[in-house]
Amino acid sequence: MTKLIFSFDDKSAIKLKNKKNILGGKGSNLAEMGRLGLPVPPGFTITTDVCEIFYRNKKKLPKKIIKDIENKIKIIEKNFKKKFGDLKNPLLVSVRSGARISMPGMMDTILNLGLNDKTVEALKNKTSNGRFAKDSYRRFIQMYSNVVLGINGHLFEELIDNYKLTKGVLLDTDLDEKDWDGLIKNFKGLVKKEKKINFPQNVTEQLFGAINAVFLSWNSQRAKTYRRLNKIPDHWGTAVNVQAMVFGNMGKNCSTGVAFTRDPSTGENSFFGEFLINAQGEDVVAGTRTPQYITKKAKIKANAKEDSMEEAMPKVYKQLEKVFIKLEKHYRDMQDIEFTVENNKLWMLQTRSGKRTAKAAIKIAVDMVKEKLISKKEAILRVDPNTLDTLLHPTLDDKIKKEIIASGLPASPGAASGKVVFTADEAEKLNSMMQDTILVRLETSPEDIHGMHAAKGILTARGGMTSHAAVVARGMGRPCVSGSSEITIDYEARNFKAGNVIINEGDVITIDGGSGKVMKGFVPTVQPEISGYFSTIMKWADEFRKLKVRTNAETEADSRTAREFGAEGIGLCRTEHMFFDEERILSVRQMILSKSKEDRDSALEKLLPYQKDDFKKIFKVMSGLPVTVRLLDPPLHEFLPKAEKDIDEVARSLNLSAKEVKDRIAELHEENPMLGHRGCRLGISFPEIYEMQCKAIFEAILQLKKEKIKSAFVEIMIPLVSTDSELKILRALVNKTAKLIEKKSKSKLVYMVGTMIELPRAALQARLISKYADFFSFGTNDLTQTTLGISRDDSGKFLNDYIDNKIFDVDPFVSIDQSGVGELVEIASFRGRKANKKIKLGICGEHGGDPKSIEFCSRTGLNYVSCSPFRVPVARLAAAQAELRR
C-alpha cells in the first residue's frame, strides 16, 4: 500500500522517485536538511496524494489517515520530549503547506497550534516568560481564526492598533503580559461575535481544523490566480507539513529571519536577508515590523541604525554562514532560507531555490559556471525565458528632471509610471481598459495577487526586502518599492501623503524599483543596454539552439532594435502598418474608394515611393538576413475615414460629394470582416495593389544594389490562402512583376514566394499548396481564431471562465493549443515537406515569443520562430532550452 505520511527522518523517503511531487518542496527539503545534519525541528509530511484523497472524499480526511496523523504526533512528542495538550510541558506545532513548486504566501500557515486557556499557562510556567506565552497565544487565535474560521485578519489588527493607541505605545513589543491577556479576551470575544462559537480549546480539533484549512487553501482564489499566472497545473495539489514549534519570540536572545545565499535582486555573491529579534516568522514577511539586516555590510550600505545579526548575535551568525555555504553547495543553486533562533540555538525551518529577478538569475547562473558548481547547459536551463522581459524594457531617463516625493526599499528592479490605485480590483479594472496603474498599499497580501499582476508597479508603505510584495513582484517581474515609511496612506480618502505632497487616486506617479525612489508624474524612459552577463548567457544559448529566431517588424527602428537583440531576420513585415502614416493615408483611401482601375492606379502610383522607401530602410538594416514581407492583408474598410472632417477631405481629393463617399463606405461594409474581403482575396480582386507592393519591394532591392549596399534576402508572403489555386495565381503575378523589373533594370532578382497558413483548410491542403510555395509561415493568431471559432478581440470576456472550469489550461492566444491548432501545424508541416522537400517552415504569430509554444515548434521541426523585437532574447533562450530538453 502507498505510504501517505512520512516523518522528516523517514529513511524510506530517500527511495522515492520525484520526491518533490509527493512530499512537496518544503517537506522534501526539510528531510534533506535533516540528512545533512542540520538542526531541523522534528515533524512529518502529509503527502500530495492525501490532498487528492481529501478532495475526492468530499473535503474530509478518512479515519485511517486521521489515526496515522495522531500516531505521527506521538513520534514528535517522543523526539522533542514534550506532549501535545499537556498541562506541564505542552508541545506546540506549526501546520504549513508545501506544493512541489514554491508558491510564496499563496496558501495557508498556522503557528503555535496546541495553545488554549490551560496550555498557555503551562507554557508560561515552563519558560518563566508570561509575556512570550500570551503573545504566542494571541498570535495563534489571530491566525487560526483567520485561516480556519474565516474571520477577516484586519479586525484583529484593528484591536491591537486601538489598544496601542490607548496605551500610548508604537510597537507590539511594547505590550506586556497583562496587555496580551486583555487582547486575548478581546480576540475571543470577536470570534464569538463573528462566528457565534467559542474559540476551540481541544488541541486535536485545532490540529485537524488547520490541516483541512491548508488543503482547502490549494483552491483559494489567490492560489488559483497564482497557478494560472505561473502555468502551474491544478491537479498537483499540496502537501501539509506538521512540525514542532521553536520560538523566536521568547526574548532578546531569540530571533527569526529569512535569508538568501546570494542577493536575489542583483545576483551578487553575498549573503542577503533580514531578521527580527524577539519575533516570529510572519513578522518578517508580513511587514508589520521593519526588519534588521543579516549582515553588517548590508546594514552599512542601507545606512541603517539597528544592529545587523552579524553584530547582535555573532556566534549564531557564524553558524548560519556555514549553513548557507553547505546548502548552496548541496543544492547547487541560490537558496531561500527560513530560520529561528531560540535561546541562542539555531533551527532551520526551510530551504528552497530562491525566487530571483531576471538580472540576478543570469548573473548567478554565469557565476556558478565560473565557480564550477554547474555546467553551461544547466545555466541555460536555470533562467526562466519569460523573466527576460524585465531586463529588456526601458529604464528611467537620467537626463530628465524628476520630482522625488518619497523613497523606500528597492525591492524589485525596473521602472513604471501609472495612475495610483489603492485596491487590486481597481488595478485589474483599469488594466482591462488599457490604463497603466501603480498599486499603492500599506502592505500587500496574497489576496492582492490579481491586482499586482494587472498593475505596472507596486508601492507599499510597510515591509522589507523579503515581504510578500517584494517576493511576488520579483517573481512577476514587476517593479516594486516596499517599506516606504515616508508615505501615509488614507484608504477612505483615497490618497496618500508624502511630506507636504498629496497624491490622489488617479494621479500619475513613477516608481523606480532599482533605486527605491517614488516620483510625482510621468518620467520618460530609455532603452536598455544589452551586455556583460546577459550577452554571455545569450551566447551560450546560441551554441545549443537549432531553431532560428526572427522578428515581427515593419519599421526601421523596430528592425534595428530586433537585430541588436540578436534577431536572424524578419519573419513578418506587415505592409498595411505602413499605410496608416499621416502622409499616405489619404492616398490609401483614394485607392480604396476609386471606382475605376485608372483612379486606383493613380492613387497606387502616389503610394509606390513611400512603400519603396520603407522597404529600402528595412532591407538595409537587415542586410544579408531573410525578410518575409506579407502583402496587404486586412479588410479595406479598416483604412476608411470615420470622422466627418476626414470624409470631407477624401471627398474633396476625389472630386466627389461627402454623400458619395459615405455611400461607397457603406458598400464596402462587411458583417464579418475577419473572414471577408481581405488577404489574398484582395489580390485576386485588385491585383494592381499587390503589383504595386511587389514593384516597391523589387525596386528597393535594386536601389540598394545600385548604392553597393547588401540587401536583405526577400521572401514575399501571400496571406490567407485556403486553396492552391489562389497561391498559383498570385505567385504568377509576383513572378510577372519581377520579370518586368528585371527586363527594365537588366538585373537579376533573387527572392522566394510563400504563404501564410492561417486557415484550417490551408493546413489540411498543404500537400497541394506546397507545390507553389517556397515556404510556409504559420500565422497562429488567425489559425487559433479560425480553428477554435473564437475571436481574439472578444475572448477576454469568457476565456478566464474556460480556464477556471479547466476547459483550457491556458489562454490559447498566449500559448499554442497543441492538441488542436498544434495538430494542424504538424499536419501541414508533414504534408508540405512530403510534397516539397525544400520548403522552409516558420511561425509568425504571437506564439513565436512564448517559451511553451517555442518548445512545440522545436519538437515539430520548424526552421524558425518570429516574435516581437523585445521577445527575441526570450525566444533565443527558450529555443536553446527546448533543444536541451529534447
Cite the active site residues.
Answer: 468, 844
Q: Where does 491-596 have alpha helices with state H?
A: 532-544, 556-564, 582-593
C-alpha–C-alpha distance, residues 69 and 842, integer Å: 55
Cell of 57: 472524499
Rounded to 5 degrees, φ, ψ at 567 are: -65, 140
Any long-range contacts for 664-671 (C-beta under 8 Å, 24+ apart)? 664/593, 664/595, 665/593, 665/637, 665/640, 665/641, 668/592, 668/636, 668/637, 668/640, 669/637, 670/635, 670/637
Sign of torsion, CA 371 373 374 379?
A: negative
H or E, element range at 451: helix 449-454
Task: For the chain, give percent helix, strand, coil, nearest 5.
Answer: 50, 15, 35
C-alpha–C-alpha distance, residues 337 and 40, integer Å: 12
Whole-angstrom CA distances from 548 to 392, 433, 848 are 20, 36, 11
The per-residue DSSP string of 744-767 comes to: HHT----EEEEEEE-SHHHHHTHH
459 in Cβ contact with 496 (< 8 Å)? no
Cell of 152: 477577516
Query: What's the distance, Cα to Cα, between the start and end of the chain in Å?
Result: 35
Residue type, 881: Q
Other CB atoms within a 10 A radius of the CB of residue 125 amount to 14
Q: Compute and round to an integer the Cα radius of gyration of the chain.
A: 32
Across 310-372, the runs of DSSP E, i.e. the strands, are: 335-342, 345-353
Could you tell me which residues come within 8 angstroms of residue 283 by beta carbon, excluding any fewer than 6 positions away? 256, 276, 289, 291
